[in-house]
Amino acid sequence: MVTPRRGGSSYGCLFTLLLLAAIGYFGAKVGEPYYHFYQYQDAMGAQARFAAHSTDEEIRQRLSQLADSLGLPPEAALVTVDRTPHHISVAADYVETVELPLHVGRLNFSPRAESDY
């Protein structure tokens, strides 16, 4: 015996899938600058930890190259290196622009790293 089916559709499932896709898409647009920030800050930390083996200019050059390869804004390559006989501080400031529908956001980043050597 065949039972009749209800003629309803599954728009609820379609709406959920569209919502998840939108969250993933916009989350990636916002998440990518933060991911690059953490990569850049980690590289600054590595440069600070091994500062005894590098000059200030070498540190600036390496971080500038990394900023360029990560696609960061040009001001991210303007790295400040402050060194005392047994301490180093490495820092930069930059702004990323994130374009979303009906809104353009500006994210301010200030990666910093310090180390004693």
Contact 114, 105 (CB under 8 A): no
Residue 6 covered by a domain? no
Q: What is the 3-state secondary structure (H, E, C) of 26-64?
A: HHHHHHHHHHHHHHHHHHHHHHHHCHHHCCHHHHHHHHH
What is the model's pLDDT at position 6? 65
Place 12 in a pLDDT band, splitting at 50, 70 and 90: confident
Place 117 in a pLDDT band, splitting at 50, 70 and 90: confident
Q: Give this prediction's pTM.
A: 0.82
- Calculate mean pLDDT across residues 60-88: 96
Written as six digits, the tokens of 46 are 């590595």
Full residue range of the structural domain in which residue 23 is found: 12-116
- Strand partners of residue 100: 103
d(C-alpha 59, C-alpha 117), whole Å: 15
Residue 4 covered by a domain? no
Residue 5 covered by a domain? no
Place 65 in a pLDDT band, splitting at 50, 70 and 90: very high
**Is the pLDDT at 37 greater than 70, yes or no?**
yes
Residue 3 covered by a domain? no
**Is the pLDDT at 116 greater than 90, yes or no?**
yes
What is the model's pLDDT at position 5? 64
- Distance between terminal CA atoms of the chain? 83
> How many domains does the structure of the chain reveal?
1
Residue 59 covered by a domain? yes
Residue 31 covered by a domain? yes
